[in-house]
Amino acid sequence: MLMYHKVGEPVATRADRFLNVPTPSFRRQMRLLARLGFRAVTFGDLADGLAGRAELPAKPVCITFDDGYSGVATQAAPALRELGWPATIFAPTAHVGRRNDWDAANGKPVLPLLGWDELRALQGDGWEVAGHTRTHPRLADLPDEQALEEMRAGREELEERLSATVRTFCYPYGSANVRTPELAKEAGFVAACTTHSGWADAAQDPFLLPRVKVASRDDAWGLCYRLFIRPKLG
Ligand SMILES: [Zn+2]
């Protein structure tokens, strides 16, 4: 699983580079993966494959975008469309069509997020729109009932707005305490991913799947390093 946030968003200050991969880098990364024999699957497909409910391609890659920044549709989607590849977006429902206001307090850039129509268009291309709560809270810090409600309400609103079954989830900020994975299951999800680094496999808890983070300075070689070399360095 690859973790992306922003692709091709404007860069004026150093803070703007945070989790913001330039469009040409993203395109080269996708082409490299295709040349290496990888095939993209959605998180739902990956979860089914890992659980033995469905077949996976020999080298599956699950491309994920947290939060649903508008550059995902304008900058990342064209490169994926060339390959016929789907991706997965984690959308906090209270912010759809608005901005990532939760980042304002920590000095991160506040950018436009995709609206419902744009999410539906990506869904039409085979993309999966998956759970990321309603308001993007740190779930580990919330009382269980509130955390459950954030996850469940986010899932239900996505299902209603997108007329789709929503089965996968991503913890905002990667924030989860020992009970959060169980709450995600109770909220109706079959799998969830974190911000922990590593390759996801069938031996792991499906509610704590790691991802490989791709940073703004990573070009195709950087992605190779993160995928194949860094994990071996331990
Ligand atoms: Zn997020």
Q: Indicate if the pLDDT at residue 217 is higher than 80.
A: yes
CA of 174 from ligand 1 middle (Å) equals: 8
Q: Output the pLDDT for position 233.
A: 85
Of residues 106 and 111, more confidently modeled: 111
167 Cα–ligand 1 center, Å: 17
Confidence (pLDDT) at 37: 97
- Candidates 132, 128, 194; CA nearest to 169 is 132
Distance from residue 113's CA to the centre of ligand 1 (Å) = 11
Could you write out the DSSP letters of every residue in 53-74?
SS---SSEE-EEEETTBHHIII
User: Is a pLDDT exceeding 80 seen at residue 234?
Assistant: no
- Percent of the chain residues topping a pLDDT of 90: 94
- Find the angle CA(182)-CA(183)-CA(185) to the nearest 5 degrees: 65
Reference 73, options 33, 121, 24, 14; nearest CA is 121
What are the residues whose beta carbon lies below 5 Å from ligand 1 (ion)? Answer: 66-67, 172
Classify residue 145 as exposed, middle or buried by CB count within 10 Å of its CB (0-12, 13-18, 19+): exposed
Burial of 201 (0-12, 13-18, 19+ CB in 10 A): exposed
pLDDT at position 185, please?
98
pLDDT at residue 38 in the model: 98
Distance 103 CA to ligand 1 centre (A): 9
Q: How far is the CA of 63 from the centre of ligand 1 (A)?
A: 15
| Residues 6+ away with beta carbon under 8 Å from 147 | 137, 139, 180, 183
Residue 110, pLDDT above cutoff 90: yes
Contact 176, 208 (CB under 8 A): yes
Residue 64 CB-density burial (10 A; 0-12 exposed, 13-18 middle, 19+ buried): buried
pLDDT category of residue 179 using cuts at 50, 70 and 90: very high
- pLDDT of 231 reads 87
Q: How far is the CA of 173 from the centre of ligand 1 (A)?
A: 6
- Above pLDDT 70, what percent of the chain? 100
What pLDDT, on the 0 to 100 scale, is given for residue 172? 98
pLDDT for res 105:
85
Give the phi and the psi of residue 90 in degrees, each rounded to 5. -100, 110
The DSSP 8-state label assigned to residue 140 in this structure reads G
CA of residue 132 to ligand 1 center, whole Å: 7
Torsional class of 141: left (φ above 0), alpha (ψ -120 to 50), beta (otherwise)? alpha
* Alpha carbon of 67 to ligand 1 centroid (Å): 5
pLDDT above 80 (res 214)? yes
Listed residue (16, 15, 21, 14) closest to 214, CA to CA: 21
From 166, 233, 207, 224, select the one nearest 38 (Cα to Cα): 224
Which residues does 5 contact at the CB level (< 8 Å), separation at least 6? Answer: 19, 20, 65, 66, 67, 69
Average pLDDT of span 209-227: 94
Strand bridging mode 63-66 / 88-91: parallel
Strands 88-91 and 128-131: parallel
| 56 CA to centre of ligand 1 in angstroms | 27
Residue 174: pLDDT over 90: yes
Q: Specify the amino acid at residue 131.
A: G
Report the pLDDT averaged over residues 31-45. Answer: 98
Residue 106 scores a pLDDT above 90: no
> What's the CATH code, domain 2-130+194-233?
3.20.20.370
